Structure 1
Amino acid sequence: MRVSADRESCISAGRCMAATSEVFDQDEDGLVLVLVAEPAGEQRAHVRKAAYSCPAGAIEIRSDDV
């Protein structure tokens, strides 16, 4: 799994950080920052939750299985 975020689409809702602060953070403007681009183990489920719950659809997940 590889995760990225479209910072231009981000509306600073913070749901990604609520799902997993180990993978996502926000900068001083409140925009999403990806801390771990290739999450492993339990983090993957949290990243999927973050992507699902993002109201702006700013979180993108690419699977290694493709």
Structure 2
Amino acid sequence: MKISCFLLLVLSLYLFQVNQATDQDTAKCVQKKNVCYYFECPWLSISVSTCYKGKAKCCQKRY
């Protein structure tokens, strides 16, 4: 029983993994070493573009 639960867990993680570079705008953000956030950018960051087809913000550190 434990082995079947473990295999089910591994299979579900494999099938539902999120690839961060699926969209063109997301790939550009990651290549420039910025970070995507669905809500507001953190305190010492500014929004420079969008991610995930405009659903999130690409944030860059100010310093």
Q: Give the number of the structure whose residues are more often helix, by fraction.
A: 2
TM-score, with normalisation over the residues of structure 1? 0.23
**Higher-Rg member (1/2):** 2
| Bigger proportion of residues as strand | 2
Higher relative contact order (CA 8 A, sep 6+): 1
